[in-house]
Amino acid sequence: MKKVRCLLCPVSCELKERERGKCRARMNIDGKLQTLVYGKPCSVHVDPIEKKPFYHFLPGSLSFSLATAGCNLHCLYCQNWEISQSNPEDTVNMDMSPEQVVQGAIDNKCRTIACTYSEPIIFFEYAADIASAAHKNNVLNIWVTAGYINQKPLEEACGFLDAIKVDFKGITEDFYENITRGHIGPVMSAIKLIKEKGVWLEIVNLVVPTHNDTKEDFSRYCDWIVENLGPDVPVHFSRFWPMYQLKNLPPTPEESLILARNIAMSKGMNYVYIGNIPEHEGNNTYCPACKNLAVQRIGYTVTQNNIISGKCQYCGNKIPGRWE
């Protein structure tokens, strides 16, 4: 029987008849690669866009958020492992066509549809059709992804996405191999391509105690960002909670996140945030020119927004992002 190779991601599965890819969501059926999750989201919610997190993209708006089962990485700390590490036949799924997803967004006053929670790459066909239906109705499309994708499909995705948040999980190949079961090279290439294509980009680094939290890790991470993306890409250093196969670790100490943020700012990065500590000032945006408070956030709520037409209202400095 005919084997097929999936070209979506660097795992590069070669599948025999009825064999399933490592992501669990794609299968060789009758010699053709088929998605098992089209129109079958297992998680659908309305979230503040700050929860993704996006801090420079339509602040204070709602995002119609969905995921299917499956993922092409296998992170030991996955916060959504019940769906990401499950076969689609083992999750409770809805039937939702792309048009129904868009209607859900409109009914719930969401300006965006977010493919999130698990990994949009593995439900690429569904996400692409949702995006196309969304744009026809003035709804924007965002992905929350680990960026473990091949260049060609990513180029295609950049054509239909308005913003992408990449979980850039660590700065060493060791971390990627041991903790995510992936490799760092394709993720770096994906992040650079997204920036090059001009899709709005934000980066998250989940700081995992003892695995990616040394001064040297933060320093190398920030050097790479500044060198390859420039100082204006928002970067969020987020607190880890003990989860899945890393329940033995403590939550990230606040000091580690402060250290990471201080290192980033000392290297000239302009928009550095602390995630999962709701009242920390590291949730706010400060104008890099006049240092005034540009956006204040408490948890996922925007409590003050001093950006007018994309500029700081105090000094007129342009703050990158999409603000309205």
Chain residues in the site for ligand SF4 (CB under 6 A): 6, 8-9, 11-13, 21-23, 26, 72, 122
Q: Name every residue whose Cβ is closer than 8 Å to that of residue 187 and which is 6 or more positions away in sequence.
A: 146, 147, 148, 166, 168, 169, 176
Q: Name every residue whose Cβ is closer than 8 Å to that of residue 247 and which is 6 or more positions away in sequence.
A: none
Compute CA distances 112 → 39, 88, 169, whole Å: 18, 25, 25
CB of 273 to ligand SF4, least distance (A): 30
CB of 123 to ligand SF4, least distance (A): 10
**Side-chain-side CA neighbours of residue 308 (13 Å):** 5
Closer of 127 and 269 to ligand SF4 (Cβ): 127
Contact by Cβ (8 Å): 138, 109: no
Closest C-alpha among 218, 226, 148 to residue 182: 148
CB of 312 to ligand SF4, least distance (A): 42
Closer of 6 and 222 to ligand SF4 (Cβ): 6
Closer of 1 and 308 to ligand SF4 (Cβ): 1
CB of 81 to ligand SF4, least distance (A): 16
Closer of 11 and 46 to ligand SF4 (Cβ): 11
Compute CA distances 169 → 73, 110, 236, 282, whole Å: 11, 28, 11, 19
Contact by Cβ (8 Å): 142, 162: yes
CB of 35 to ligand SF4, least distance (A): 9
CB of 176 to ligand SF4, least distance (A): 15
Compute CA distances 86 → 92, 126, 141, whole Å: 11, 18, 25
Closer of 73 and 319 to ligand SF4 (Cβ): 73
Peptide bond into 53 cis (omega under 30): yes
CB of 26 to ligand SF4, least distance (A): 4
- What residue type is assigned to position 188 of the chain? M
Closer of 13 and 130 to ligand SF4 (Cβ): 13
CB of 126 to ligand SF4, least distance (A): 13
Contact by Cβ (8 Å): 73, 149: no
Contact by Cβ (8 Å): 53, 101: no
Closer of 70 and 275 to ligand SF4 (Cβ): 70
Helices (H), the chain: 81-84, 98-107, 124-136, 151-160, 173-175, 184-197, 215-229, 254-266
Closer of 12 and 266 to ligand SF4 (Cβ): 12
